[in-house]
Chains A and B, each alone.
Chain A
Amino acid sequence: MLASRALAGAGCGASLSIGKRDISMSATSHYPVATVSEAIETHTLSVKVDNEPGVLARVIGLFSGRGYNIESLTVSETEHEAHLSRITIVTRGTPMVIEQIKHQLERMVPVHRVVDMTVQARAIERELAMVKVRGKGDNRVEALRLADAFRARVIDATVESFVFEITGAADKIDQFVSLMLPLGLVEVSRTGIVAISRGPDGM
């Protein structure tokens, strides 16, 4: 994961005394250092873009080039006729950095709209995962019982394995996966988070 820009300046704040002068050394740089006193927040952004070649590279390049975090990213064309895709990005940063990310996205030519689902939209967030578990005997029974409790469906089965499909909030999936670990977890494939606002209006 990328180091957050917000943390880049952490650690300075000492007071140095040189010669006869006392120079306060907090944030002594000619380069902008975000105030560390601002708390780091997690935000989910929905971004509507033209589905053209390179558009994902543009968005990802923005994040890597400017040192922003990507916790999760999903993308798919959502309006086929209009060739529009919806990108859902979960990112972390101080409020100032989050605002910067939104503006940097907004000014990109193929970007139509950016909505901060965390503040603007009382969003519902979901993720889908497929979880492969191998085991026999009690472990296999236990896996199946837990899957039932988590409302995970069996989408493939052999005599010694299951593939479960589970949908829900990311932490629910985390929890399910950690429960499967001692029962013979083989691998997990996750979609990343998608989000949509509550109520009748679109983004």
Chain B
Amino acid sequence: MTKEMSGAEMIIQAMIDQGVEHVFGYPGGAVLPIYDALFHQDKVRHILVRHEQGAVHAAEGYARSTGKVGCVIVTSGPGATNAVTGLADAMCDSIPLVCISGQVPTHLIGNDAFQECDTVGITRPCTKYNYLVKNIADLPRILHEAFHVASTGRPGPVVIDVPKDVQFATGTYAKPKTNPHRGYVPKTKGDPARIEQAVAMMRTAKRPVFYTGGGVINSGPKATELLRQLVQATGFPITSTLMGLGAYPASGPQWLGMLGMHGTYESNMAMHDCDLMICIGARFDDRITGRLDAFAPVSRKIHVDIDPSSINKNVKVDLPILGDCAEVLSEMLRLWTQNPGETQGPAQKSWWKKIDGWRARKSLAYKPSDEVIKPQYAIQRLYELTKDRDTYITTEVGQHQMWAAQFYGFEEPNRWMTSGGLGTMGYGLPAAVGVQLAHPNSLVVDIAGEASVQMTMQEMATAVQYRLPIKIFILNNHYMGMVRQWQELLHGGRYSQSYSEALPDFVKLAEAFHAVGLRCEKPADLDDAIREMISVDQPVIFDCVVDPAENCFPMIPSGRAHNDMLLGDAVENLDEAITEEGKVMV
């Protein structure tokens, strides 16, 4: 079916045809025709944020928790530049987004017109793809192509920059035919011979480990299901990156915990000592590998990834398999089931015995207190009191984020929204807005730091406007804790600019937003306070005052290998832990 309509109407119509229900945005001169088109319909609901960065993070939370493409509309110039942090964040964490930006009319482009900026130029390195639409005839194709590019292959953000005259122009709109980009055909089916070889390596492995990442979550629920089956069938231990939490349940018997810089002792030791590493949908990021020349020195490595450029980038692998996690896992599982390897033999038993020995060190242990709330304890209580509910967790960036990853047990995928690759403070609150919108009856908690949350605090107004009962659970340590920790360990305790001299009263701040504010300062009061937070059917800011001096352990300091970690009880040795050169390199 084809129809005559304006460019602005096409944008909305394409969203409808793509099944978009919510779009996050902020109006301005260069997108007024689009806002007019929004006004005339009720299929796509517009969520008015308070800052364009918030719009993008909200769309990220929406996308990550649903598996759908998140949608954003921003105006030209400052609207587009404000969106850049969110776009870069989505690029790093492979989140599918389509962002429509307004642009000055075509004839003014390049003239330094009012609110003009080179949006495609600025966003080129932080999007998967972007378009400047100069001709109304191209708009319908580009709109649908953008959704296709954003959501297939390794997902990512796509920007469509639409000049105002193109929004006004009329043209012929056609509903989507299957018309993907001619040069863009991501490979999803792994090479069968290589998968065969991978399974053969798995059958003979003596000290295997699964190392999985966000790619499994991005691949969808089927990938998670297959991963769980394969892990169970093989009996291999499994660890995951920050982005991959929830693909395998934290309560599962083969779970080692998260790996990397703040990963558990057992996961990092298993990575270091393994003889076969099966990496699925992760990318050997520097927070994971630590010292490269000492990374899993005796292992052979299999790497399954949909993005060829992630393979052999940081670490050379023995067997790369290019393809979608779900497709490759399904084939691996089929081959393994046909002809399984030994799972209870002496090699397996001795590997697990070693792992149990590492586990016994209880690397996440911390000194409890009756006087002050330990941040780890706060997360543990939050977990215990919310685990039986339908709960989604977002975070900001810092120590609280790592403690959330360590102490909150994720049983399902798409329940954990965090800024991994870019590490964007201010992500969690707007992301919670997006998650809550997609899951109106669920409990959505942003585990926050008092510094991070101030970066996008204004989105509380969005939450209040749309009656989104998000819970902002602030681990308030009065410091940029992660910065303070590095300064303590690396810079002789010189706490340069990391203490928050002037914090707002978060309870009053909540009230000023017409939300609910709660504060808790004593461990004994914590459970009741958390219960109250949960029971309130309104947005809540929970000021949880915690031990300001607590550090996040384990930690692989700069310049160290996986088997060379700092553990919590090793605090006395800190001075010699980090070398001068390590200080320079990080």
Residues of chain A at the chain B interface (Cβ within 8 Å): 12, 14, 16, 18-21, 23, 25-33, 35, 49-50, 53-54, 57-58, 61, 65, 96, 99-100, 103-104, 106-107, 109-112
Given contacts A100-B309, A107-B154, 11 further A-B contacts (CB under 8 A): A16-B580, A18-B576, A28-B585, A29-B292, A30-B261, A30-B558, A50-B183, A96-B312, A109-B183, A110-B184, A112-B183
Q: Judging by beta carbons under 8 Å apart, are A30 and B286 in contact? A: yes
CB proximity to A under 8 Å, residues B539-560: 558-559
Question: B119-130 toward A: CB 8 Å interface, digit per residue (1/0)?
Answer: 011001100110
C-alpha spacing A57/B308, complex, angstroms = 22
How far is A110 from B130 in the complex, measured between Cα atoms in Å? Answer: 11
Q: In the complex, which residue of chain B has the Cβ closest to the Cβ of A96?
A: B312
Q: How far is the CA of A20 from the CA of B308 in the complex (A)?
A: 44
Contact B308 A30 (CB under 8 A): no
Q: List 26 A-B contacts (CB under 8 A).
A: A16-B581, A18-B576, A18-B580, A25-B579, A25-B581, A27-B292, A28-B291, A28-B559, A28-B582, A29-B286, A29-B559, A29-B586, A31-B586, A32-B313, A32-B314, A33-B292, A49-B183, A50-B183, A58-B124, A61-B125, A106-B308, A106-B309, A107-B308, A109-B149, A109-B181, A109-B183
B137: shortest Cβ distance to chain A, in Å?
Answer: 15
CB atoms of B128 and A19 under 8 A apart: no
- Top 7 A-B residue pairs of the complex, sorted by shortest distance between their CB atoms: A28-B559, A19-B576, A103-B309, A29-B585, A103-B308, A112-B183, A32-B314
Distance of B583 from chain A, by nearest CB (Å): 10
CB distance from A5 to the nearest CB of B (A): 11
Residues on B with C-beta less than 8 A from A30 are 261, 286-287, 290-291, 558-559, 585-586
> For A107, what are the chain B residues with a Cβ–Cβ distance below 8 Å?
153-154, 307-309
Question: What distance in Å separates the Cβ of B183 from its nearest Cβ neighbour in chain A?
Answer: 4
A32 contact from B292, B576, B586, Cβ within 8 A: B292
Minimum CB distance partner of B184 in chain A: A109
Contact partners of B183 in chain A: CB under 8 A = 49-50, 109-112
| Least CB distance, B306 to chain A, in whole angstroms | 10
How far is B559's CA from A23's CA once the two chains are assembled, in angstroms?
A: 9
Tell me if B579 and A28 are in contact (CB < 8 A): yes
B90, CB-defined interface residue at 8 Å: no
Q: Are B311 and A103 in contact (CB under 8 A)?
A: yes
Q: Is the CB of B132 within 8 A of A53?
A: yes
Contact of A65 among B125, B149, B292 (CB under 8 A): B125
Quick check: A26 and B181 within 8 Å, CB to CB?
A: no
Nearest Cβ on chain B to A57's Cβ, whole angstroms: 7
What's the minimum C-beta distance from B581 to chain A, rounded to whole angstroms? 5
- Contact mask for chain B residues 366-406; partner A; CB cutoff 8 A; 1 contact, 0 none: 00000000000000000000000000000000000000000
Q: Which of B291-324 contact A (CB under 8 A)?
A: 291-293, 307-309, 311-314, 316
How far, in Å, is B153 (CB) from chain A's closest CB?
8
Q: How far is the CA of A133 from the CA of B290 in the complex (A)?
A: 57
Contact across chains for B312 and A100 when beta carbons are under 8 A apart: yes
The answer to whether the Cβ of B537 comes within 8 Å of any Cβ in the partner chain is: no
Count chain A CB atoms within 10 A of each CB in B286, B312, B558, B579 and give the residue with the most: B579
On chain A, the residues within 8 Å of B132 by CB distance are 53-54
Cβ of B196 < 8 Å from any Cβ of A? Answer: no
The interface residues of chain A lying within 8 Å CB-to-CB of B4 are none
Tell me if A100 and B121 are in contact (CB < 8 A).
no
Q: Known: A30-B286, A31-B286, A107-B307. Contact between A23 and B291, CB under 8 A?
A: no
